[in-house]
Amino acid sequence: MGATITHVLGARPNFVKAAPVIRALAAAGHEQRIVHTGQHYDERMSQVFFVQLGLPEPDVNLGVGSGTQARQTAEIMVGMEQEFTENSSAIGVLYGDVNSTLGAALAAAKLGIPLAHVEAGLRSFDDTMPEEINRRLTDQVCDLLFVTSAEAIGNLAREGRPAGAVHFVGNPMIDTLLANLDKFDAASARRAYDLDERYVVATLHRPGNVDSPDRAADLVEALHEVAAKLDVIIPLHPRGRATLVATGLLDAPRVRVVDPLGYIEFMSLVRGAAAIITDSGGVQEETTLLRVPCLTLRPNTERPVTITSGSNRLVTTAELAAAVLAACDDGPYAGELPPLWDGQAGPRIARIITAWLRAADD
């Protein structure tokens, strides 16, 4: 097949979602181009995922780096406009809700390039999150909307997106998890960090949690309360490091702060944890599948299925320590998992894109 499919990747969660889609499209014989915007650039935020997940090296890296919301999005738009102008593309494939997703969506839409959005229709209904704006606007300009859970279908319908564009395909982040499950070695991860048999993993990076010193101080107090009873290991995203450390995060003997981890090392720790504390989107889903209790430090989630069909619970800082201890006692989630989270999202997406390209060719 001659027409090129362009994947736009920029930030850590994009890599995890794109790997199974790119693999399935390659197996179907498509020509593909991988554009890395450079939104994430540290080796541990980017390159390690390409290596561990077997992603092809990007054909180009736009090197946009960090910036304010507007500057980063604008630089992605400018870079993607040039990229789409110089390299013909039958369809662009976008992932998730990061600034790279929206920047690429706006650039492509104005050039008339068709677009597919993987993980469409998720909504937190919280416009203070930059991701919520990215999600809503991206979905408005995409031709194929691949959804991971049923409520996304209703969200897209309410926003006027045509039913024919929406495809419930399952969750590619879960494809990646299932494809790598036998590499997640919880026992050696625990030993590597000298953790107790019962330990907790925490990840925090939402602006609403880590940007303000006051909020960071609340969080640190809550984490210290947990660490009074349990070992807590925190692979710390670069965004919050300075503020959380300045607020005293390290001043508790059972708190271990480490650099962001590669996917295999991180998921190995998660698999063996008694509970997870997070504000990540993806981690809420991964813990659902692994049935590890997840306490989400946010007032809302765009992934409600992780609460109704998983072990996720939204908590405040005041509730955190008691919720973690209760979750550890309750043990793994034993209910039904969300429909189609079966490791086959990538092949489903590849089949739909292949059919769509054939129809567009006719």
Interface residues toward ligand UDP, by CB under 6 A: 12-13, 16, 173, 203, 235, 260-261, 263, 266-267, 280-283, 286
Minimum distance, C-beta of residue 194 to ligand UD1, in the bound complex (Å): 26
Minimum distance, C-beta of residue 236 to ligand UD1, in the bound complex (Å): 11
- Tokens (6 digits) for 311: 């072990």
Q: Is 66 in the site for ligand UD1 (CB under 6 A)?
A: yes
DSSP H helices, the chain, are: 12-27, 47-52, 69-86, 99-110, 130-141, 151-158, 172-180, 186-192, 207-210, 213-227, 238-246, 263-272, 281-290, 305-308, 317-330, 345-361
Count of CB atoms situated within 10 Å of the CB of 140: 14
**Is 269:233 a contact under the CB 8 Å cutoff?**
yes
Amino acid at position 314, single letter: L
Q: Which does 152 bind (CB under 5 to 8 A by kind): ligand UDP, ligand UD1, none?
A: none
Q: Is 209 in the site for ligand UD1 (CB under 6 A)?
A: no
Minimum distance, C-beta of residue 10 to ligand UD1, in the bound complex (Å): 7
**Is 217:251 a contact under the CB 8 Å cutoff?**
no
> Which residue's CB is nearer to ligand UD1, number 52 or number 72?
72
> Which residue's CB is nearer to ligand UDP, number 202 or number 357?
202
Q: Is 201 in the site for ligand UD1 (CB under 6 A)?
A: no
Minimum distance, C-beta of residue 344 to ligand UD1, in the bound complex (Å): 25
Q: Which does 231 bind (CB under 5 to 8 A by kind): ligand UDP, ligand UD1, none?
A: none
Q: Which does 42 bind (CB under 5 to 8 A by kind): ligand UD1, ligand UDP, none?
A: ligand UD1
Q: Which does 41 bind (CB under 5 to 8 A by kind): ligand UDP, ligand UD1, none?
A: ligand UD1
Q: Is 77 exposed, middle or buried (0-12, 13-18, 19+ CB in 10 A)?
A: buried
Q: Which does 39 bind (CB under 5 to 8 A by kind): ligand UDP, ligand UD1, none?
A: ligand UD1
Count of CB atoms situated within 10 Å of the CB of 183: 12
> Which residue's CB is nearer to ligand UD1, number 194 or number 211?
211
The catalytically annotated residue of 7, 205, 224, 237 is 205
Contacts with ligand UD1 by CB under 6 A: the residue count is 19
Q: Which does 99 bind (CB under 5 to 8 A by kind): ligand UDP, ligand UD1, none?
A: ligand UD1
Residue by residue, DSSP assigns 248-273 as TTT-STTEEEEPPPPHHHHHHHHHH-
Among 16, 30, 34, 39, binds ligand UD1 (CB under 6 A): 39
Cα within 13 Å of Cα(7), Cβ side: 30
**Which range, of 52-60, 91-99, 250-258, 307-315, touches ligand UD1 by CB under 6 A?**
91-99
Minimum distance, C-beta of residue 263 to ligand UDP, in the bound complex (Å): 4
Among 33, 40, 298, 348, binds ligand UD1 (CB under 6 A): 40
Q: Is 296 helix (H, G, I), strand (E, B) or coil?
A: strand
Q: Is 238 in the site for ligand UD1 (CB under 6 A)?
A: yes
CB under 8 Å to 153, separation ≥6 — which residues? 121, 147, 166, 168
**Is 330:312 a contact under the CB 8 Å cutoff?**
no
CA 235 to chain centre: 15
Q: Which residues pair with 7 in a beta bridge?
A: 34, 93
**Is 186:290 a contact under the CB 8 Å cutoff?**
no
Region for residue 119 given its phi and psi (left: phi exceeds 0; alpha: psi -120 to 50; beta: otherwise): left
Q: In the annotation, is 205 catalytic?
A: yes
Q: Is 28 in the site for ligand UD1 (CB under 6 A)?
A: no
Which residues participate in catalysis according to the annotation?
205
Q: Which residues bind ligand UD1 (CB under 6 A)?
A: 11-13, 39-42, 45, 66, 72, 97-99, 130-131, 205, 237-239
